[in-house]
Amino acid sequence: MVATMGTFLLFVFGFTLVRGAVTREREMGVGELVATSPISGGRYLVGRWLGYFVLLTLVTILLILATIAAYALHGTGSFDFWALASPFVFLTLPAMALVAAVAILTETVQPLQGTLGSVFYFFAAVAVFTITSLGSGVTYGPTGLAIVRNSMVEAAGADPSVFENRSFAFTGDPGSVTTFTWNGIDWGAPELLSRGPTLAATCLGLLIAVVAFDRFEPSRSILQRIMGRLVGSDESQSEKESPPEQPTPADVKSRDIAEMTLQSVTQHPSRLPDRRMLTAEIRMALRGQQWWWYLGIVVCIGAGLFAPVDTARGLVLPVAWLFGLSVWAGLGVREQRFRTSELVFTTPYPLRQLAAAYIGGVSVAIVSGAGVLIALVLAGKFTTVGAVVIGACFVPALALASGIWLGTSRVFEILFLSLWYLGPMNAVYSLDFMATHPETVAQGTPVWIAVVTVVLVIAAVVGRSREIQQ
Amino acid sequence: MVPVEPPSTTSTPDESRSKTRNNDPRLRLNAVGKQYGDFWGVRDVSLDIGPGVLGLLGPNGAGKSTLMRLITTYLAPTEGTISFNETDVVSSPNTLRENVGYLPQDFGVYPDLTAKEFLSYLAAIRGLRRGEAHERIDDLLALTNLQEAKSRRLGSFSGGMRQRVGIAQALLTDPDLLVVDEPTVGLDPAERVRFRNVLSSLGDDRIVILSTHIVSDVEATATDVAVLADGQVRAHTTPEQLLAEVTDCVWEVVVSQDDLQSLKSNYLTSTTTRRSDGVHARIVTEGDPPKNATAVSPTLEEAYLDLLDGSDATTSGENA
């Protein structure tokens, strides 16, 4: 059971744990050293994949040790190490190999390199797990849930078809269930062969990553690289034949310093962010978004206005805020990621830049959900409007606090996606920070969301203050 | 060799020059130290700096960048005080932040922004009004020869062009205190000369602190020189005074390639240049020079090497 739950958790969250080494090397300039070394792209990526896989294997070993400790405390019957460890070996480790390969893949395929990769993986992982856990015949799923379930059903002597579309559950009433003896999975050829598709998917993922890998050279598109490989052209030769970069007029132009006069300027710093600063922060936050991102926001605003208000609230708003994720993910980590801390934190009243970034984040949530908010106002649901606004304040606060304190956007990404999946989409009302369900407001969830928001804002301010004057 | 006396109290290169006009900016560091764990990045640094260009020299790891970060309030000192225009900058950092332009040694840019957008963003968070900022940015783009590239994304800029963007942002606010850490790294010779001229002219009425390994940059621009080693100030003086310490101590001698190693082991050798008649080597010594040695005028680099006694700092290039 620990193996099943551990595999599921590592399958969904292990990606966030390991992903980032290739991206870091790209951003920090180490990639140039790799690119100019004799190592091939394939060997480099397989090496990186191995690193990710080893890390996930270490976590798996910790899970095995935890299982043994749990057995020592609460276990019954004779101790059988192989029965405890074998599911980790045959189920968890192949799944981790796939997770590591997909992490590599999303770091090499350009469109997936940022937040989009995290979103893509989260939904793909949840979808794959859901699909492969439905039927007893789907034993080839990456987490192998069906193998464990089938083995238990067999041990219970029950009709397997009764358990179709069923999973595992906890109960607080031990008397409501009957017990049976299960000696673990009997690993035969069908069980072992069922891991084949997962390992094949791992190899395929790595293969695609190797083909897509730009060797830290950003100018060539994936299509150009694939064509180059297909026709077998010598890349280094073609690069040599390309014309050398012409110096721009700016490089060759020379002006006499004596001619230059700099007009004096006066700073007007204030403790609070002004309109100009807010505009600059919002422009900065939105920079780099693709055209389809803006189209998506416009569609969400329109759909929020014209869809039935319950649909707008329960479906359009979650989708709209999913678009905001890529913007919020940059909050709190931008200065560290792009090494601009010394430029930004030595400005007068640097905390107002934090305030401007936060207000910018809230604005993105309000604007993307503007259609829904207007529809709610027109429907007279002012309490819900307030709850949505609290949610709009909560998300950027979470992004800022986690970014500043943890130095990475990945934790925020996985937190947001998990909350988004559990709260708004699966009606866990206590986590429904968007107030997409009427019960959420009735249960008073927005109140604690507001409290958490205040705590997160304070945490962000304290964290940034520490960064400003170390 | 007579080492320049390390300053026992607050160090000023020339007391007469400390009598400045009332509205001139003044930066004072008093026994400043910064500790990282058990290691002191800088310690007991006392400097009194007025208008002009202060060249800050020192070997790798001497604490120059730590000192720059302390002065610009990016780091807080572990001990000592820093005041700008008689205001303590630790308790009132905005007094300095409103008046400082800073070019860090290792800084990044936002690759998705153009040069103009990047400068506009920094102007906004520094409190410049829109109209003033636009004019200033246009001037600075011209000054740094980036006008033609102002609409290109910074991600496509070369290292030298990024460095020029860094120089431009340091000058955005017309600062009374300009702190530039290794500013000429990555610049081509023409741009380097241009920037040195800019620094010289800026130093007329404000404080410019130039930290660099390139002694010739200091020689060309600095009115004062401070030498930092092992986190402490070894000298704070004028270039003339530093040079005076090695007058009659610098010699040029021509040796064969085979004798060069022996010469280097016996004398502090600043530069060697290969010629048809042998290797022309410049040495610094207070004692007797080798026979056939010719006395030559010292350079600031030789004075600097002499001050550090050649340890860690023999970085002079060999001119093949």
For A217, residues 6+ apart whose C-beta sits below 8 A from its C-beta are: A35
Asked, for residue B3, whether it belongs to a domain, the answer is no
Identify the pLDDT of residue A222.
60
Regarding whether A216 and A334 lie in a shared domain, the answer is no
* Count of beta carbons in the 10 Å neighbourhood of residue A221: 11
The C-alpha atoms of residue A432 and residue A423 are separated, in whole angstroms, by 4
Residue of A nearest to B97 (CA): A348
B122 touches chain A (CB under 8 A): yes
Regarding whether B79 and B207 lie in a shared domain, the answer is yes
Tell which phi-psi region holds residue B278, choosing left (phi > 0), alpha (psi between -120 and 50) or beta. Answer: left
Q: What is the mean predicted confidence (pLDDT) over B43-61?
A: 94
Model confidence at A234: pLDDT above 50? no
Regarding whether A316 and A192 lie in a shared domain, the answer is no
Structure tokens of A317? 């708003």
The C-alpha atoms of residue B128 and residue A198 are separated, in whole angstroms, by 57
- Helix, strand or coil, per DSSP, at residue B204: coil
Regarding whether A299 and A220 lie in a shared domain, the answer is no
Regarding whether B253 and B194 lie in a shared domain, the answer is no
Q: Taking CB atoms and an 8 Å limit, are B140 and A250 in contact across chains?
A: no
The C-alpha atoms of residue B236 and residue B245 are separated, in whole angstroms, by 13
Regarding whether A287 and A198 lie in a shared domain, the answer is no
- Sheet containing B294-295: give its strands across: B294-295, B250-255, B278-284, B268-275, B318-319
Residue of B121, B136, B152 to mutate for A, most A C-beta atoms under 10 A: B121
Alpha-carbon torsion (A426, A428, A433, A434), positive or negative = positive
Number of inter-chain CB pairs under 8 A, A vs B: 142
Structure tokens of B276? 């048809």
Taking alpha carbons only, the member of B42, B65, B40, B33 closest to residue B209 is B65
Model confidence at B42: pLDDT above 90? yes
Q: Which of B238, B261, B277 is the last residue of a domain?
A: B238
- Helix, strand or coil, per DSSP, at residue B125: helix
Following DSSP, what letter does each residue of A333-345 receive, concatenated? THHHHTT-HHHHT
Distance from CA of B70 to the nearest CA of A (A): 9
Range with the largest mean pLDDT of A24-38, A104-118, A242-256, B219-233? B219-233
Q: What is the mean predicted confidence (pLDDT) over A361-370?
A: 96
Model confidence at A235, pLDDT cuts 50, 70, 90, reads very low
The C-alpha atoms of residue A461 and residue A405 are separated, in whole angstroms, by 10
B121 touches chain A (CB under 8 A): yes
- Decide which of A457 and A156 is more confident: A457
Residue of A nearest to B155 (CA): A218
Share of chain A above pLDDT 70, in %: 85
- Listed by number, the residues of chain B in 50-79 with a beta carbon closer than 8 Å to a beta carbon of chain A are 69, 72-76
The C-alpha atoms of residue B59 and residue A196 are separated, in whole angstroms, by 59
Q: Taking CB atoms and an 8 Å limit, are B126 and A348 in contact across chains?
A: yes
Q: Taking CB atoms and an 8 Å limit, are B126 and A347 in contact across chains?
A: yes
Asked, for residue A95, whether it belongs to a domain, the answer is yes
Identify the pLDDT of residue B250.
92
Regarding whether A296 and A150 lie in a shared domain, the answer is no
Regarding whether A329 and A226 lie in a shared domain, the answer is no
- In angstroms, how far is the first alpha carbon of chain B from the final one? 28
- Helix, strand, coil share of chain A (percent; to 5): 70, 0, 30
Asked, for residue A296, whether it belongs to a domain, the answer is yes
Q: Taking CB atoms and an 8 Å limit, are A339 and B107 in contact across chains?
A: yes
Model confidence at A45: pLDDT above 80? yes
B190 touches chain A (CB under 8 A): yes
Asked, for residue B9, whether it belongs to a domain, the answer is no
Supply the mean pLDDT for chain A: 85
The C-alpha atoms of residue A231 and residue A244 are separated, in whole angstroms, by 24
Structure tokens of A470? 């170390």
Identify the pLDDT of residue A263.
73
Beta carbons of B161 and B118 less than 8 angstroms apart:
no
A189-205 pLDDT, tens per residue? 888 898 999 999 999 99
C-alpha distances (whole Å) from B128 to each of A286, A409, B84, B121, B214 are 22, 30, 22, 10, 33
Regarding whether B104 and B44 lie in a shared domain, the answer is yes
Model confidence at A145: pLDDT above 90? no
The C-alpha atoms of residue A282 and residue B294 are separated, in whole angstroms, by 66
The C-alpha atoms of residue A373 and residue A392 are separated, in whole angstroms, by 11
> What's the CATH number where B94 sits?
3.40.50.300
Q: Taking CB atoms and an 8 Å limit, are A267 and B98 in contact across chains?
A: yes
Nearest CB to A277 within list B125, B161, B174: B125
The C-alpha atoms of residue A301 and residue A213 are separated, in whole angstroms, by 37
> Which residues on B lie below 8 Å from A349 (Cβ)?
94, 97
Q: Which of B238, B262, B293 is the last residue of a domain?
A: B238
Distance from CA of A84 to the nearest CA of B (A): 45
B196 touches chain A (CB under 8 A): no
Q: Taking CB atoms and an 8 Å limit, are B149 and A339 in contact across chains?
A: no
Asked, for residue A56, whether it belongs to a domain, the answer is yes
Residue of B nearest to A356 (CA): B125
Asked, for residue B206, whether it belongs to a domain, the answer is yes
Identify the pLDDT of residue A447.
96
Asked, for residue B43, whether it belongs to a domain, the answer is yes
Model confidence at A395: pLDDT above 90? yes
For A171, residues 6+ apart whose C-beta sits below 8 A from its C-beta are: A177
Distance from CA of A245 to the nearest CA of B (A): 11
> Which residues on B lie below 8 Å from A342 (Cβ)?
69, 72, 74, 102, 104, 107
Model confidence at B186, pLDDT cuts 50, 70, 90, reads confident
Beta carbons of B26 and B12 less than 8 angstroms apart:
no
Q: Taking CB atoms and an 8 Å limit, are B148 and A253 in contact across chains?
A: yes
> Which residues on B lie below 8 Å from A352 (Cβ)?
125
The C-alpha atoms of residue A225 and residue A108 are separated, in whole angstroms, by 12
Asked, for residue B6, whether it belongs to a domain, the answer is no
Regarding whether B143 and B67 lie in a shared domain, the answer is yes
The C-alpha atoms of residue A428 and residue A171 are separated, in whole angstroms, by 18
C-alpha distances (whole Å) from B85 to each of A264, B82, B180, B209 are 20, 10, 20, 16
Distance from CA of B302 to the nearest CA of A (A): 30
Asked, for residue B1, whether it belongs to a domain, the answer is no
Residue the block writes with tokens 């740094």: B144
Task: Please give, one letter per residue, the 3-state secondary structure of chain B.
Answer: CCCCCCCCCCECCCHHHHCCCCCCCCEEEEEEEEEECCEEEEEEEEEEECCEEEEEECCCCCCHHHHHHHHCCCCCCCEEEEEECCEECCCCHHHHHCCEEEECCCCCCCCCCEHHHHHHHHHHHCCECHHHHHHHHHHHHHHCCCHHHCCCEHHHCCHHHHHHHHHHHHCCCCCCEEEEECCCCCCCHHHHHHHHHHHHHHCCCCEEEEECCCHHHHHHHCCEEEEEECCEEEEEECHHHHHHCCCCCEEEEEECHHHHHHHHHHCEEEEEEEECCEEEEEEECCCCCCCCCEECCCCHHHHHHHHCCCCCCCCCCEEC
To the question of pTM greater than 0.90 for the whole model, the response is no
Domain that holds residue A95: 2-168+187-230
Residue of A275, A290, A334, A340 to mutate for B, most B C-beta atoms under 10 A: A340
Structure tokens of A115? 């937040």
The C-alpha atoms of residue B123 and residue B92 are separated, in whole angstroms, by 21
Q: Taking CB atoms and an 8 Å limit, are B102 and A346 in contact across chains?
A: yes
B189 touches chain A (CB under 8 A): no
What length is written for chain A?
Answer: 470
The C-alpha atoms of residue A321 and residue A415 are separated, in whole angstroms, by 14
B204 touches chain A (CB under 8 A): no
Residue the block writes with tokens 């007893």: A136
Regarding whether B216 and B270 lie in a shared domain, the answer is no
Q: What is the DSSP letter of B81?
A: E
Beta carbons of A284 and A340 less than 8 angstroms apart:
no
Q: Which range is least confidently modeled, A286-290, A291-295, A326-330, B113-117?
A: A286-290
Q: What is the DSSP letter of B214?
A: -
Identify the pLDDT of residue B78.
95
Taking alpha carbons only, the member of B189, B182, B115 closest to residue B154 is B115
Identify the pLDDT of residue A250.
42
Share of chain A above pLDDT 90, in %: 48
Regarding whether B72 and B45 lie in a shared domain, the answer is yes
Regarding whether B54 and B33 lie in a shared domain, the answer is yes
Q: Taking CB atoms and an 8 Å limit, are A250 and B147 in contact across chains?
A: yes
Q: Which of B238, B273, B304 is the last residue of a domain?
A: B238
Beta carbons of A429 and A439 less than 8 angstroms apart:
yes
Asked, for residue A263, whether it belongs to a domain, the answer is no
> Which residues on B lie below 8 Å from A326 (Cβ)?
none
Regarding whether B212 and B160 lie in a shared domain, the answer is yes
Identify the pLDDT of residue A129.
82
Identify the pLDDT of residue B67.
96
Asked, for residue A164, whether it belongs to a domain, the answer is yes
User: What's the gap between Cα A170 and its chain centre?
Assistant: 28
Beta carbons of B187 and B197 less than 8 angstroms apart:
no
Asked, for residue A259, whether it belongs to a domain, the answer is no
B148 touches chain A (CB under 8 A): yes
Supply the mean pLDDT for chain B: 87
Asked, for residue B132, whether it belongs to a domain, the answer is yes
Nearest CB to A264 within list B72, B174, B198: B174
Following DSSP, what letter does each residue of B248-273 receive, concatenated? T-EEEEEE-HHHHHHHHHHSEEEEEE
Regarding whether B190 and B208 lie in a shared domain, the answer is yes
Regarding whether A449 and A386 lie in a shared domain, the answer is yes
Identify the pLDDT of residue A246.
43
Regarding whether A136 and A281 lie in a shared domain, the answer is no
Q: What is the mean predicted confidence (pLDDT) over A288-300?
A: 91
What length is written for chain B?
Answer: 320
Asked, for residue A444, whether it belongs to a domain, the answer is yes
Residue of A nearest to B108 (CA): A339
Asked, for residue A24, whether it belongs to a domain, the answer is yes
Taking alpha carbons only, the member of A15, A3, A18 closest to residue A66 is A3
Regarding whether A333 and A192 lie in a shared domain, the answer is no
Q: Taking CB atoms and an 8 Å limit, are B194 and A260 in contact across chains?
A: no
Q: Which range is least confidently modeled, A246-255, A318-327, A345-354, B43-52?
A: A246-255
Domain that holds residue B94: 15-238
Distance from CA of A218 to the nearest CA of B (A): 10
The C-alpha atoms of residue A17 and residue A13 are separated, in whole angstroms, by 7
> Structural domain tally of chain A?
2
Tally: H helices and E strands in chain A = 25, 0
Regarding whether A139 and A86 lie in a shared domain, the answer is yes
Q: Taking CB atoms and an 8 Å limit, are B74 and A346 in contact across chains?
A: yes
- Decide which of A157 and B98 is more confident: B98
Regarding whether B304 and B201 lie in a shared domain, the answer is no
Asked, for residue B121, whether it belongs to a domain, the answer is yes
B95 touches chain A (CB under 8 A): no
A69-83 pLDDT, tens per residue? 888 887 777 788 888
Regarding whether A425 and A353 lie in a shared domain, the answer is yes
Structure tokens of B57? 């020299």
Residue of B35, B120, B126, B165 to mutate for A, most A C-beta atoms under 10 A: B126
Model confidence at B181: pLDDT above 60? yes
B86 touches chain A (CB under 8 A): no
Nearest CB to B146 within list A250, A334, A346: A250
Nearest CB to A267 within list B112, B126, B139: B126
Q: Taking CB atoms and an 8 Å limit, are A340 and B127 in contact across chains?
A: no
